[in-house]
Chain A
């Protein structure tokens, strides 16, 4: 039995498997189906200062080996989270991380400051990469100056572990990673969804209500893996890798590329218990390769 413990800044995870924001609710939705305490970290759905209705239906299109979504950050706001969700999750033995989004550096910072008051939430993931909102989201994550402005504002008010989620919809993701590192981010997570679209040939119209959406699932894995590889060579801060991970082998590939932890997203829709299978599979892999710790394989492919 190898040690699966990993660290993202000051955040200690019992194993390197987390759930990706927007694919696992608040964890509670999956409680009947999977033992939440066996998951390294649970990143809850994107949370904003004010409640948001998100985009109109249809918000989803199935594609080859993946899916598009344009949910658009529907959530009940940070106050609702603090009042109604936090009390239900605070005593569950996993690391809950809040994914924070906003429409300006000020709203990101105000939302982060509210989450900072929650004792059992030791980290936030800053979403500067949502492709489905008009204001904010990816608009910040696609320029170095935009990304830096949000991280700077949040860093000033958020003393705990700050993970910044990067967009793949850029010319050079390493520039953005360097920019957020320079502003004091503790870690980066990548990749958010790739912008795409689907057209209904019979109706001769886009499938999604806002025409474009974010592509996820195994179709994006090679792109994500390449970006984790590149960012590992560009920054010193820890990387959380995600994008199309369906099983333990996929997860191990991200660790070998340089990720210190991984997030599982769309795969939760196909197998709600996939996370614990990935944990077991990583452990089996480490045993098979005579590794005492998961640390032994992080970045080992370089």
Chain B
């Protein structure tokens, strides 16, 4: 499915600091309408006000709230007055560019190119699906949007979210709105102690599809566990990018089909297509 790409000047409606270094940015278009976007897609954000930052930053679509849509209750919890669609981005301030994004304030303008990339494969309408969505750190961002879409199709997903400590696990109140949530932390401060791949839910559950986004090593291990259980698995990659449009060929991943652009053929890949799962 192809979505039309846009260059948009969006206005920042709200910036919420979720925990140290993590911000949730809510964006609105001047006409109140956000273009069609799919879970797993991303936008290329221009970073103004950071002389050190030259290239745009690819950021996953965290959530898309539609005015008057089912699930609009989600908006109330975060102060959306329902006057406009909102695009949410979850940003982890790790470098000059993302730190500049984290300094944005309500009323600022943010220029984006998007939506870009392919998105996750959604189960067919009416399918008896039991999806497991496994995320780590800021990689949980696209899984919220995916959970929203699954819930809208009458599918109740299970989220398995991991972090080093409790503060790394964000947006729990929203995840719980769309499905069941299981947690792991390395220090045991929330959920089970350990990594997502060590959680007890792997012992007994019969999932029909796994989606994962987070640190590469985590995704490699999740993909391996999915393969061992014979469950299809989609992996969302975040290779370094320049254009985001398939032109510069910088973000390539080595797949069974050779080098392919993560920005256009991904960021979501069937784990079987990747040479990561050895």
- By a beta-carbon cutoff of 8 Å, the part of chain A in contact with chain B is 22-25, 29-30, 32-33, 45, 53-54, 56-60, 62-67, 69, 71, 74, 217, 266, 268-273
Contact = CB atoms under 8 A, between A and B. Distances in A.
Interface string B26-52: 000000000000000000001000001
Contacts of A30: 245, 247
Interface in B224-278: 239-254, 258-259, 264
B203 interface: no
A60 B240 contact: yes
A69 B7 contact: no
B56 interface: yes
Contacts of B241: 60
Nearest to A60: B250
Contacts of B4: 32
A29 B261 CA distance: 12
- Give chain A's interface secondary structure class: loop
B153 interface: no
A264 to B, nearest CB: 12
A269 B242 contact: yes
Nearest to B244: A269
Interface of B: 4-7, 46, 52-56, 113, 239-254, 258-259, 264
A33 B253 contact: no
30 contacts: A22-B249, A24-B247, A25-B245, A29-B245, A29-B246, A29-B264, A30-B245, A32-B6, A33-B245, A45-B247, A57-B253, A57-B259, A58-B240, A58-B250, A60-B240, A60-B241, A60-B250, A62-B54, A63-B54, A65-B54, A66-B54, A69-B248, A71-B248, A71-B249, A74-B249, A269-B56, A269-B247, A269-B248, A270-B56, A271-B7
B245 A74 contact: no
B246 A25 contact: yes
A257 B179 CA distance: 63
Q: What is the predominant secondary structure among interface residues of chain B facing chain A?
A: loop
A33 B246 contact: no
Contacts of A60: 240-242, 248, 250-251
B253 to A, nearest CB: 7
B127 to A, nearest CB: 31
A69 B242 contact: yes
B55 A270 contact: yes
Given A268-B243, A269-B243, A71 B250 contact: yes
A62 B264 CA distance: 20
A71 B245 CA distance: 15
B52 A64 contact: yes
A74 B54 contact: no
Given A23-B248, A54-B259, A71-B249, A33 B6 contact: yes
Given A45-B247, A67-B55, 16 more contacts: A29-B264, A33-B6, A33-B245, A53-B259, A54-B259, A57-B239, A59-B250, A62-B55, A69-B250, A71-B249, A71-B250, A217-B54, A269-B244, A269-B248, A270-B55, A273-B7
